[in-house]
Structure 1
Amino acid sequence: FAVLGRCVFAPLAIYVFLFHKLYQLISSVDIVEKFLRNQQTLVPTRYSYTDIIAMTGHFKEKLGQGGFGSVFKGRLLWDRLVAIKMLTNSKYNTGEDFINEVSTIGRIHHINVVKLIGFCSDGMQRALVYEYMPNGSLDKFIFSSNKGPNHKFSLDKLTDIALGVARGLDYLHKGCDMQILYFDIKPHNILLDHNFNPKLSDFGLAKLYPKNNSWVSLSVARGTIGYIAPELISRSFGVISHKCDVYSFGMLLLEMAGGRRNSDPRAENTSQVYYPLWIYDKLINNTIEHDTVQMDLRIAINEKEKKLCMIGLWCIQIRPLDRPSMSKVIEMLEGDVSSLQMPPKPFFSELTQITPVVSYLKTDSGEITMISDAADEIN
């Protein structure tokens, strides 16, 4: 039996394992190929992996890296610059997220949504070819750690960027044939063109639904920690709908207005970590604290900064029904701050512990891949 185990069963088990892995790879390629053949009106161009190598000059200039893989600078034959996202993460190799992004962004044409020029699906080599955004992502321009002269926006420009992002989201929710829920709004996914006009990018987590659906079915939460709507964590807060994107946009507005991330890992307790409560207290007092040469100064909040904060707090209301739609948000951003009512105090400010309630698995990029329902513990 020992000899049989070593000479027969062990090799057989290895062969079965290798066959299973090969079958998974072939199935993944078949799924993607079937999808691409069915896209008769697909506008983006399909490139081979050899084309991608030529465009990037053998991946010479790397622009960035994320949980999906790496982004490289490329150039088309007619000298147009592009950004090429190489999908190397194992979750993209299943084909689902690749199909998701091509099918979603491939049908979108809006000034505030990044344009998908082409894609590559050559065996297991997959890539997405986007228009090149010379000013990179919004996150490097708004957080307080970046205080150089080239990393500052006026409040007027911040409002313009917020309006552009809101218009892009409103188009996704109402302007397409299908309702598109983005599910991953954060500064890192807002790209800026040569005029600093914002464009939504990275549609790997987006989902398409019929327009007449007032709520959507989603078995697994998706998004990035710090921007996820409460109903994605526990259905006791409400149903999943386009209001999830409104919540994430509200967190984005608060970060843009305050110039700091909504979660501070250096904070000593939860009340310090919950950034919206800090914003709310500053609005109530109508002052904001600034540390200058070891002196604590209290300066009145600028009206435009106040407007961004108030709209952000309305967007992150705990119940989806209490949040405005994106079209209403656009109206609020275009209006005067005097027409806005003070939003209610953030609900989570009453909790002393939030983090232990949620059980999740997190990738290096901060994206949630699985999350448990913690309704009973929260209630």
Structure 2
Amino acid sequence: MVLAMVLGVLIFVVEMIALLCRWSRTKKPKKFEQVEAFLELHEERATNRYKYSEVKKMTNFFKDKLGEGGYGSVFKGQLPNGGAMVAVKILSETKGNGDDFINELASISKTFHRKLITYLGYCVDRGRRALIYEFMPNGSLEKYIYYKVSAKAQSRLGLMTLYNIAIGIADGLQYLHEGGVSRKADVYSYGKMLLEMAGGRKIFDVQTETYYPPWIYDKLVANENLELYGITTPEEELTALKMILVGLWCIQTDPAVRPYMSEVVQMLKGSLDTVPIPPRPSSI
């Protein structure tokens, strides 16, 4: 009787272990199954794949942080054996089955354009993921947008230089969107950047708690002084006004109202008279 009970318990335990093993096989990898399946095809394109240990060495154990965003952090690094300097984007934890990583990897791996930074490789190692790009020595554009009253000063680039940079970025985004990359968030972000470039100030002033888009819109339609920083010529004033109008179109709340990047390029390169006044942007 006791022997039968012991055997019964053992059989039950063995069955449970077998069941758990089957469950773990179907459950555990599912998050990365699609990623790995994609990578098998992706590796045929001779893209460099690095181990996470190599990424750590490459970045000197993540010593020099260049920036941080919603998808992860970016670190300065160097390719093995004294290779080129790189920017290593460490992606945050994947949700779902890894679609976000696959989409980004698929897009950048087939994207080549003279106005886009070069994609050099990636890392997928036990759920830890990274994308590796060429290093841009001049740093982020953010350092050159805002007008600083003090400073020996004016690290802000001239408006016409910023205008040409804005067109270059628009050209690159247009190319990406023709490669199938989602446009909605890109256009909105581009519009915010364009407004900051034209106005020389952040989209939201923490000190005065002023949200720039409706503020500048109201001044624009009332034909008031736009209080633009660093504008010295009539040409710059007209260019800044065009950038503001295009930026206001790009940040419309309804994504359907936002222009395509091809339309953005046309408006920026065209005459100010051809850019209509957009609907008033919503407040925060």
TM-score normalized by the length of structure 2: 0.75
Match of 2:214 among 260, 277, 282: 277
Q: Are the structure 2 counterparts of residues 17 and 90 from structure 1 closer, same or farther at C-alpha, using a change threshold of 3 Å?
A: farther
Residue aligning to 1:50? 53
Q: Larger helix proportion, structure 1 or 2? A: 2
Structure 1 position 262 matched with structure 2 position 197:
no
1:150 shift after superposition? 6.0
The alignment partner of 1:181 has SS state of coil
Query: Is the Cα contact below 8 Å between 2:200 and 2:228 reproduced in 1?
Result: no
Q: Are the structure 2 counterparts of residues 130 and 67 from structure 1 closer, same or farther at C-alpha, using a change threshold of 3 Å?
A: same
Corresponding letter in the other structure for 2:34 = I
Corresponding letter in the other structure for 1:154 = G
Query: Is the Cα contact below 8 Å between 1:318 and 1:346 reproduced in 2?
Result: no
1:67 shift after superposition? 3.9
Residue aligning to 1:289? 227
Q: Are the structure 2 counterparts of residues 161 and 24 from structure 1 closer, same or farther at C-alpha, using a change threshold of 3 Å?
A: farther
Mind listing any 5+ residue stretches in structure 1 that lack a counterpart?
A: 1-15, 186-244, 292-298, 349-353, 356-379
Residue-by-residue CA offset, 1:95-152 (whole Å, 9 max, x unaligned): 3322222111111111232222001112233221111111222223223469643631
Residue aligning to 2:261? 326
CA distance in 2, matches of 1:150, 1:25: 54
Residue aligning to 2:244? 309
Query: Is the Cα contact below 8 Å between 1:140 and 1:146 reproduced in 2?
Result: no
Residue aligning to 2:182? 181
Q: Are the structure 2 counterparts of residues 63 and 289 from structure 1 closer, same or farther at C-alpha, using a change threshold of 3 Å?
A: closer
Structure 1 position 85 matched with structure 2 position 89:
yes
Match of 2:194 among 214, 229, 253: 253
CA distance in 1, matches of 2:130, 2:66: 14
Q: Larger strand proportion, structure 1 or 2? A: 1
User: Which range is displaced more, 324-333 or 109-118?
Assistant: 324-333
Q: Are the structure 2 counterparts of residues 283 and 263 from structure 1 closer, same or farther at C-alpha, using a change threshold of 3 Å?
A: same
Residue aligning to 1:112? 115
CA distance in 2, matches of 1:125, 1:100: 16
Query: Is the Cα contact below 8 Å between 1:118 and 1:128 reproduced in 2?
Result: yes
Q: Are the structure 2 counterparts of residues 65 and 173 from structure 1 closer, same or farther at C-alpha, using a change threshold of 3 Å?
A: closer
CA distance in 1, matches of 2:171, 2:181: 13
The alignment partner of 2:227 has SS state of strand
Aligned-pair Cα RMSD in Å: 3.5
1:91 shift after superposition? 3.0
Structure number, greater radius of gyration: 2
The alignment partner of 1:166 has SS state of helix
Q: Are the structure 2 counterparts of residues 40 and 146 from structure 1 closer, same or farther at C-alpha, using a change threshold of 3 Å?
A: farther
Match of 2:30 among 22, 27, 30: 27
Q: Are the structure 2 counterparts of residues 173 and 61 from structure 1 closer, same or farther at C-alpha, using a change threshold of 3 Å?
A: closer
Query: Is the Cα contact below 8 Å between 1:44 and 1:117 reproduced in 2?
Result: yes
